[in-house]
Amino acid sequence: MSTLIFSHGNSFPASTYRVMLDSLRARGFEVHAIEKYGHDPAYPVTDNWPHLVRQLADFARACAGAGGPPPWLAGHSLGGILSLMCAAQYPELARGVVLLDSPVVSGWRARGLGLAKRAPKLMRRFSPSQVSRRRRNEWEDREAVFEHFRGKKIFAAWDPQVLHDYVNHGTIDADGSWRLAFDREVESHIYDTLPHRIESLLRRHPLKCPMAFIGGLQSDELRRVGGIEGTRRIAKGRVTMIDGTHLFPMEKPLAAAAAVETSLRAMS
């Protein structure tokens, strides 16, 4: 049985992906995941995410055990970039990498991102953090949480069980009210410290394992970074596009699991 380390997208605890991950388990993979990046003080969120990468490396090392083959690394959005950076810096911990709608910011866009981060007010103006910092964070009960998100456009397309998992695992009982389990300030800080030096990282530490990319055909994320040509080069053409937005693992979790399995088998 192959070991797979899955890393979640920003603001979505790993349990949100239960349907997809359970499908991968049923397909023969031993799946492990860090529940929430950015919340362990031993691995703080800083520019370019070095401590989050180290957190993944430490977790993968513990899951791999002694003498066994290295695990596969897969991740959605934030998690895909962490998986790629971990594989580059810790090649002994990665048999291969699958990025789920995690396009690599490269070229002039990466340089522009680096400049924007030098001016925090400017970065926050264009970063998704301008939304996350204002995100509603408190409800009367879990049913109110479910109704709130079910009425939003991006969540309306989610598989119903995934939405229930997000409500059940993405919120906590806080003194009689329900709040998001993923801290909004952590989420925002992750957005504002997005890595802009991945190209130089890969020049210093070329990937020693294969990489594949799975993207959503309706993903706005791909449009924002100017497409996937840079990512395609890193993946050496191993690109699969499936129906869905940037959140296709939540919209079509079984199709996402099938695409991940196909990518992993092709790299075996």
User: How do residues 8-32 score in pLDDT, each as one tens digit?
Assistant: 999 999 999 999 999 999 999 999 9
Would you state the structure tokens that stand for residue 241, as one six-digit string? 């596009």
| Low-confidence winner among 34-38, 77-81, 230-234 (lowest mean pLDDT) | 230-234
Query: Which residues are paired to 99 by β-bridges?
Result: 75, 213
Q: Would you state the pLDDT for residue 137?
A: 87
- E strand or H helix that includes residue 248: helix 248-251
Contact assessment for residue 215 and residue 101, using Cβ atoms and an 8 Å cutoff: yes
- Dihedral pair phi/psi, residue 149, rounded to 5°: -75, -35
Contact 186, 40 (CB under 8 A): no
Q: Answer for the pair 251, 245: CB distance below 8 angstroms, yes or no.
A: yes
Q: Tell which wins on pLDDT, 173 or 35.
A: 35
Q: Is 209 exposed, middle or buried (0-12, 13-18, 19+ CB in 10 A)?
A: middle
- Judge contact between 86 and 75, C-beta under 8 A: no
Q: What pLDDT shows up at residue 213?
A: 98
Percentage with pLDDT > 90 across the chain: 76
Q: What is the mean pLDDT of the chain?
A: 93
pLDDT at 66: 65
pLDDT in tens, 28-50: 999 999 999 999 999 999 999 99
Check: pTM over 0.85? Answer yes or no.
yes
Model confidence at 57, in pLDDT bands (50, 70, 90)?
A: very high
Averaged over 211-228, what is the pLDDT?
93
Number of neighbouring beta carbons within 10 Å of residue 180: 21
